[in-house]
Structure 1
């Protein structure tokens, strides 16, 4: 729980009463490799704090091809935000790519705490702002940068991920084929 409290306080320090109630909302949970935090089509009702491990957010196209939208590497907040906010079925699954250690809270309980503690409401806003900026940055990279540059940015953002994940997950995240990823790696290695 200390890593959770440190993470929270690094984003927005919160008062002791709010911290105590926040801690009571979160319960430990294990996700095994390939387990889902939330599936496509489900109504999301939980938010999580990924303490350790890697979770991917992905969607399927109409032909069943997977596209990795995002990687979450602990420490990180995970959850199907659109489903949580709109109360509509989730469209982007979140699946553990490694064994994961997480803390889970009911989102409705979190919203009640927002009403009670403005520190927590501010924390929620700052987390949402962070993910909005991250999403926009990735969209810009996908639209304006070539695959080589996107690969280098990914390596900088997630330095350990290449040692853990299969090549096809990384290629999907970059919006390229596994063959293209192999060429990029070979080219960078030779230069």
Structure 2
């Protein structure tokens, strides 16, 4: 049985017919590390299912500084949702941190399909619920946990984070400097080697 069909059904039950319709509006892509799948100020029309690799979303300030908002791991959904829902330019960039395999899904065709496929509408709602819960958890962590605790929480989510994601990106995600991250890693006995 198709593993993607099994995965989607683990979120919410969909029929084989609905899955067949989803496949028609999806494209499988292999993208290289550093590729931007959503650019800043671009009006997006696609959502993504990350099959392998890591995607990050980040914000760029007027001074050019980057702030990482999220890391998307296999298997998860990534999208500039506010931009998609409002048909407005994205405030975030979505970029492959590592080489990735993704499904690019036409968001507006999906919304159209939801009108005739109630089980797809339920799946969409469940995905939105998951993304909201993830977002709320991130806000709570950023308010209630100190930098070391946030780093350890990230390591729970991505055990080999230090070999996959650059120290600069990890520090940005945690809201600290790379120097502070180095100190935290040294204190807890993490190897100080890191990807560029």
- Shorter chain as denominator, the TM-score bin is over 0.9
Structure 1 counterpart SS, 2:189: helix
Structure 1 counterpart SS, 2:59: strand
What's 1:33 paired with? 33
What's 2:185 paired with? 185
Q: What are structure 2's unaligned runs of at least 5 residues? A: 191-196
Contact 1:37 / 1:96 at 8 angstroms: preserved in 2? yes
Deviations 1:112-143 (A, max 9, x none): 11111111111111111111111111111111
Confirm or deny that 1:158 pairs with 2:158: yes
What's 2:193 paired with? none
How many angstroms does 1:97 deviate by?
0.7
Contact 1:4 / 1:49 at 8 angstroms: preserved in 2? no
Confirm or deny that 1:119 pairs with 2:123: no
How many angstroms does 1:4 deviate by?
2.2
Q: What are structure 1's unaligned runs of at least 5 residues? A: none
**Cα distance between partner residues in 2 of 1:134 and 1:30:** 26
Confirm or deny that 1:3 pairs with 2:11: no
**Cα distance between partner residues in 2 of 1:19 and 1:82:** 25
Q: Deviation above 6 Å: which 4+ runs of structure 1?
A: none
Structure 2 counterpart SS, 1:189: coil
Confirm or deny that 1:49 pairs with 2:49: yes
Structure 2 counterpart SS, 1:28: strand
What's 2:144 paired with? 144
TM-score, normalized by length of structure 2? 0.93
RMSD: 1.4
State the number of aligned residues.
190
What's 2:108 paired with? 108
TM-score, normalized by length of structure 1? 0.95
Structure 2 counterpart SS, 1:179: helix
How many angstroms does 1:33 deviate by?
0.9
How many angstroms does 1:28 deviate by?
1.1
Deviations 1:50-80 (A, max 9, x none): 1111100000112111001000011111111
**Cα distance between partner residues in 2 of 1:15 and 1:4:** 13
